[in-house]
Amino acid sequence: MARLGTGIGWRPEIARHVEELPGLDWVEVVAENICPGHLPDALLRLRERGTTIVPHGVSLGLGGPEPPDPARLAALAERAGALGAPLVTEHIAFVRAGGPLTASPRLEAGHLLPVPRTRDALDVLCENVRIAQDALPVPLALENIAALISWPGEELTEGRFLAELVERTGVGLLIDVANLHTNAVNRGEDPSAVLDALPCHALAYVHVAGGVERDGVWHDSHAHPVTGAVLDVLAELCARADPPGVLLERDDDFPGRDVLAAELDAIRAVVTAARAARTARTDPAGRGVLSPPVAGPGRGAGTEQCGGPDGDADRGAPAVPAETVTAAAEAAGLAASVAAGAAAADARERPACGAPPTAPGQPAATATGTTGTSTTGTSATAASPDRSSAPPATEAARLRLAVAQTALLSSLVAGTPAPDGFDRGRLRVQSRALVRKRTGVIAKVAPELPEILGPRFRAEFEGYARNRPMTGGHRQDALNFAAHVLSPAGPRLEPAVRRRLGRWWRERSRPAPPLRRRVAVLLRGGVRRLSGLTGARRAQASPATSSETAFRRPV
């Protein structure tokens, strides 16, 4: 994977700050938010400076039951080409359900939802990933997502699910340490166990983001400062592997440049300290000793390892120096937590990266997947996969996955009964989170709606969206909401507000005029503006009488 360095998620709201951040190596941009032929000037300036730009997709839905949409794949490939990106990234998630497979209406989640960690889901995901890889001009890496809910009857841990995905497809991994922390709080999953199972050679880069805990549930908001707990997980990861890149994500409630710079400094401090602890072993004489890469049966020689020559990852490695982390992290108020977490990360013994986590009461697994036997000198990383040998997902597996995901999404966005086995309380939390996310996106896609409706916009839209699933894109969702508000079933509006909203809806819902008509409209508008300017100059030269003023329309 390409060496990226330290980066930040590029958003229009902080475009100026991003250009001014010191020591920034690269940025990531949401692929669906840019147009290849009309890149923002700020992004073009970053490209001219040699800053690497990576497109990050959110709408492929590779974890869904259907093969990825060729048009969406082509759009992602086009953005990669326009940006000169060394890779593209997406998510291990499903974002829509229903449709022909289930003979039911198409439903859009409007956000990323977790796939069940079952053999069916893994088979379907692997086939979808291979289709995407064949369509994209650059390597693909996939991100683990944050989840509020757990699927009943899962057959694999997250670490094993990710490891088998890499083994079967060769796809890269984008590990979001904030999402690992989220799943630790919400689903009781140990981040260390996930990290222990990951194939280090597949790591493309790492996400770091902030969140907030409400009523015992962690929300991956990307609108709050990065916490010490998340940096602790970053230290855990960096104790096992040297990530090619680390990126700070912020999607809302944007702080100033100095706050962003301080968070980036805290991230750099953790990575730098862990790198020193991993690569510079100290022998009794005080000399630095590098741990050489190790090759084993079925492994590629020279592949980056997470452990030393004895097959143990960082056994006896020195703790990450607290003083190294403190100076940068104090600015973000995270020094004590980061230092303590980093020290604890290196103080513990670790299995080799890539070894599967074991269930309670079972003997520890070795690097070759057996139990109770030492495998000194073997590597824990996977060899390059033979994609042709992997069995394709059967239609039956796709259908089973489609039925399960449609039932879940329908309960979340359309108010149908919850499927058996799910925590109904958590489903309510997830449903409310989807509504809040949808409301926020509509406010950005159609900013005129909050302006027209004022403070009541959020309450009105959330009430509308609660049991009305999104069946198309967000722009159509905004139009449907406006039509509902204007209908007899909608809320009572002041006459001026109703007129403004009606005008907005009519202008955007009518069919686009033919090109000739558009040109004619533009020409007429230009003529009117010129006439208005001429009239204004005449009015200045000879003031109008009271009768003339009464009949003149304002320009």
Same domain (yes/no): 527, 505: no
Question: Do the beta carbons of residue 299 and residue 381 sit within 8 Å?
Answer: yes
Same domain (yes/no): 239, 182: yes
User: 100 lies in which domain range?
Assistant: 5-387
Mean residue pLDDT across the chain: 80
**Residue 382: phi, psi to the nearest 5?**
-90, 150
User: Is 402 part of any domain?
Assistant: no
Query: Which domain-ending residue is among 333, 362, 387?
Result: 387
Same domain (yes/no): 128, 272: yes
Same domain (yes/no): 228, 196: yes
Model confidence at 532, pLDDT cuts 50, 70, 90, reads low
Is it the case that residue 382 has pLDDT exceeding 50? no
User: Is 414 part of any domain?
Assistant: no
* Residue in the block written with tokens 């710079």: 261
| CATH number, domain with residue 29 | 3.20.20.150
Share of the chain above pLDDT 70, in %: 72
Q: How many CB atoms lie within 10 A of CB 103?
A: 7
Task: Give CA–CA dist 216/175, Å, rounded.
Answer: 24
> What distances in angstroms separate CA 190 from CA 161, 205, 308, 358, 510, one per listed residue?
15, 20, 23, 12, 52
**Residue 182: phi, psi to the nearest 5?**
-55, -45
Is it the case that residue 418 has pLDDT exceeding 90? yes
Nearest to 199 by CA among 277, 305, 122: 305
Same domain (yes/no): 150, 299: yes
| Tens digits of residue pLDDT in 467-499 | 899 988 899 999 999 999 999 999 999 999 999
Residue 234 token pair: 């970053």
Model confidence at 552, pLDDT cuts 50, 70, 90, reads very low
Nearest to 59 by CA among 32, 19, 38, 99: 32
Quick one: pLDDT at residue 467?
85
| Tens digits of residue pLDDT in 130-159 | 999 999 999 999 999 999 999 999 999 999
Q: Is the dihedral of CA 505, 506, 507, 510 positive or negative?
A: positive
Same domain (yes/no): 365, 484: no
Which pairing describes strands 5-10 and 245-249: parallel, antiparallel, or unpaired?
parallel
Quick one: pLDDT at residue 322?
40
Q: SS3 sequence, 20-59?
A: HCCCCCEEEEEHHHCCHHHCCHHHHHHHHCCCEEEEECCC
Quick one: pLDDT at residue 464?
96
* Residue in the block written with tokens 């869904």: 64
Quick one: pLDDT at residue 40?
95
Per the structure, how many domains does the chain have? 3
Q: What is the mean pLDDT of residues 505-522?
A: 68
Same domain (yes/no): 128, 235: yes
Quick one: pLDDT at residue 304?
42
Question: Do the beta carbons of residue 171 and residue 92 sit within 8 Å?
Answer: no
Share of the chain above pLDDT 90, in %: 66
Model confidence at 320, pLDDT cuts 50, 70, 90, reads very low
User: Is 462 part of any domain?
Assistant: yes
* Residue in the block written with tokens 């001026």: 496
User: Is 273 part of any domain?
Assistant: yes
Quick one: pLDDT at residue 143?
98
User: Is 397 part of any domain?
Assistant: no
User: Is 503 part of any domain?
Assistant: yes
Same domain (yes/no): 232, 316: yes
Is residue 281 classed as helix, strand or coil in its secondary structure? Answer: strand
Model confidence at 447, pLDDT cuts 50, 70, 90, reads very high
| Tens digits of residue pLDDT in 81-127 | 999 999 999 999 999 999 999 999 999 999 999 999 999 999 999 99
Same domain (yes/no): 312, 186: yes
Quick one: pLDDT at residue 219?
86
Residue 259 token pair: 């706050």
Nearest to 83 by CA among 137, 133, 134: 137
User: Is 143 part of any domain?
Assistant: yes
Same domain (yes/no): 207, 273: yes
pTM: 0.75
Task: Give CA–CA dist 542/539, Å, rounded.
Answer: 5
Same domain (yes/no): 426, 300: no
Which pairing describes strands 88-91 and 140-143: parallel, antiparallel, or unpaired?
parallel
* DSSP tag of 470: B
Which pairing describes strands 281-282 and 217-219: parallel, antiparallel, or unpaired?
unpaired
Q: How many CB atoms lie within 10 A of CB 458?
A: 15
User: Is 407 part of any domain?
Assistant: no
Is residue 84 classed as helix, strand or coil in its secondary structure? Answer: coil
User: Which one of 317-331, 462-476, 533-547 scores highest in mean pLDDT?
Assistant: 462-476
**Residue 175: phi, psi to the nearest 5?**
-95, 120
Same domain (yes/no): 478, 519: no
